[in-house]
Structure 1
Amino acid sequence: MSSAVDASSFETRLARFPARRIVAGARVTGYREAVGVAGGERLPLVLLHGIGSGAASWVQQLESLGATRRVLAWDAPGYGESTPVDAASPLAADYAAALAAWLDALAIECCVLVGHSLGAIVAGAFAAAYAPRVAGLLLISPAAGYGAALPDVRASKRDTRLAMLAELGPAGLAAQRSTNMLSAHASEAARAWVRWNMARIVPAGYAQATHLLANADLAADLAALDGGIAVETKVVVGEDDRITPPAACERLAAAARTALRVVPRAGHAGYVEAPADYDALIDAFCRGIEEPRDEQRSS
């Protein structure tokens, strides 16, 4: 089966969740949404993608988890049709504010927040600033950011990625970088879908996200949660993740005061290559938060 055929099958499935746009504050945010049969009774589930991806990458979660609850996946600022943040070298707080404005526009007061890779940085910053709005925080293969590193290290990481973007462009990045996103066990369909999403990044938005990665310190945001409203937090990583390996995620789990969950035979984009495993994890996490709430309402 060719990559084109593999990708087209995902595109056909994605058509069930057409791209939407909403004015959120002073900007437009693009997103995709599924509303299941019990969507109004469950907590909304909000999915935040990584630096080389987009809302479409969550199509399998929109299908599965969206059958029984409201599931929303955004295109981060500067991705898809979403308006970029204002700062050329933004902070995680800038993206967290954009997320708050989007949720306000959708009238979502509280949700379960899932962040993958760079999306985990945004999710952590949002939880630190808007803890009452986060019923649960699930971080999948989280990127830590380089905000705590020495200035020359931060600059080197940033400039290397920016130079690669300038040299290769989105299509070249997809061809050369997408392989690292998955484990050796991934299907060709999963590989094609990762390439499809990465090839559609907007260079200016990717460049801003590169600055975000250099500036962010997810561990500090997770540690800050201890001083305010408690947010149920879990950290998950694929056993074969070569981008944010288990040892790195272990340190973030420690900062969040939680145990690390390692998914066997999965890479960095585990939710793409092993959707059943990740869907079960996300669903169990949501239900673990909702069941005590249901009991309190019924008592």
Structure 2
Amino acid sequence: MSSLAHDLAAPELERLNSRFAARSVALADGGVVSVRECGQAKAGAAAYVCLHGIGSGAASWLDTALLLAEQADARVIAWDMPGYGDSTPVAPAQPKAHDYAHRLQGLVDALDLDRFVLVGHSLGAITAAWAARDASPLAARIEQLVLISPALGYGAAGQQEQAERVRRQRIETLIRDGVAGMAAKADQRLVSEHADARARQWVRWNMGRLNEAGYLQAVELLAGANVLQDLPPAMPVRVACGALDIVTTPTACEQAAHACGVPLHLFEDAGHACYVEQPQAVATWLQSGAPR
């Protein structure tokens, strides 16, 4: 193993680059979105668009994406959200969910995706919920919304103090520890005690690739968002989280499920980054509820 806690073992990096390689997609408005993609959806199979959380990136979906492509004949596309990887940032310093959803629309337009399942993990659920709301121009193209360990945001009435505390704590941590320091400790909160060494290495590596400016914009998105006001969506929805998630707890995720009128699915013995920790369980669950 490398001396750096957030480095990735060479065989894993080779597997990522050979089977889930990054490429840049130019958008009509001049922006660029970096994506990783695998599989080709066969007749009757779903296409998935996957949105990662605040401390992660497109590469985090590697194992879940490969399983869906192989077992469900699916096409799987994961983006690096604006300001992450090689994706150009959105313009506002304090962006809202609609800024990211507009970029998402530009991406699916560029990829000519007419119908797809939209999967949002953690902070990615904020963009996904906005894109899937009844008034969204993307709603008619989303076959199903999937929220995994959804971050609810702190933009609801009465949460101003909590929002400011979250904003301050995250910024202070970035200043004190830097991206490398944050990455070195990422597995302590993002996976459960049951996670193997490879899953821990992956969550550290993903966080170690953060761009500070993009991360700070994402902090503002988290502080100002209110996912519950965008629910239920305009299409079928499923909600899940890790039973041992200490970031977006099952109690918090239950609020999103309740707002949608659906049960909350729990991945046993999994933490926040459940799809990294238990890709087979997550892929099987996604496949089991895919639209036909």
Q: TM-score, normalised by structure 2?
A: 0.92
1:93 equivalent in alignment to 2:98: yes
Partner of 1:282: 286
Return the match for 1:139 from 123, 128, 147: 147
Q: Which sections of structure 1, spanning at least 5 residues, go unmatched?
A: 291-299
Partner of 2:167: 158
SS of aligned partner of 1:183: coil
SS of aligned partner of 2:205: helix
Is the Cα contact below 8 Å between 2:6 and 2:180 reproduced in 1? Answer: no
Partner of 1:53: 56
User: Aligned partners of 2:219, 2:9: CA distance in 1, in Å?
Assistant: 26
User: Aligned partners of 1:104, 1:97: CA distance in 2, in Å?
Assistant: 11
Partner of 1:108: 113
Percent of pairs identical after alignment? 44
Give a deviation string over 1:115-148, Cα, whole Å, max 9, x none: 1100111110110123212100111111000011
Is the Cα contact below 8 Å between 2:243 and 2:267 reproduced in 1? Answer: yes
Aligned residues: 282
Larger helix share, 1 or 2:
1
Q: Which sections of structure 2, spanning at least 5 residues, go unmatched?
A: none
Look up the equivalent residue of 1:191 and give its one-letter code. Answer: R
Is the Cα contact below 8 Å between 2:6 and 2:205 reproduced in 1? Answer: no
Partner of 2:251: 247
Give a deviation string over 1:178-220, Cα, whole Å, max 9, x none: 3100000000111011101100011100000000000111111
Give a deviation string over 1:220-271, Cα, whole Å, max 9, x none: 1114x3xxxx411011011100101100000111111111011110000011
Return the match for 2:76 from 58, 71, 76: 71
CA-based RMSD: 1.6
Q: Could you tell me how far 1:62 is from its partner in structure 2? A: 2.3
Distance 1:43 1:88, change over 3 A: same
Q: Could you tell me how far 1:69 is from its partner in structure 2? A: 1.4
Distance 1:74 1:39, change over 3 A: farther
Look up the equivalent residue of 1:164 and give its one-letter code. Answer: T
1:193 equivalent in alignment to 2:197: no
Partner of 1:27: 31
Is the Cα contact below 8 Å between 1:78 and 1:204 reproduced in 2? Answer: yes
Partner of 1:173: 182
Give a deviation string over 1:14-48, Cα, whole Å, max 9, x none: 12221100111231000001124x44652311110
Look up the equivalent residue of 2:56 and give its one-letter code. Answer: S
Q: Could you tell me how far 1:156 is from its partner in structure 2? A: 1.6
1:234 equivalent in alignment to 2:232: no
User: Aligned partners of 1:157, 1:4: CA distance in 2, in Å?
Assistant: 24
User: Aligned partners of 2:141, 2:224: CA distance in 1, in Å?
Assistant: 24
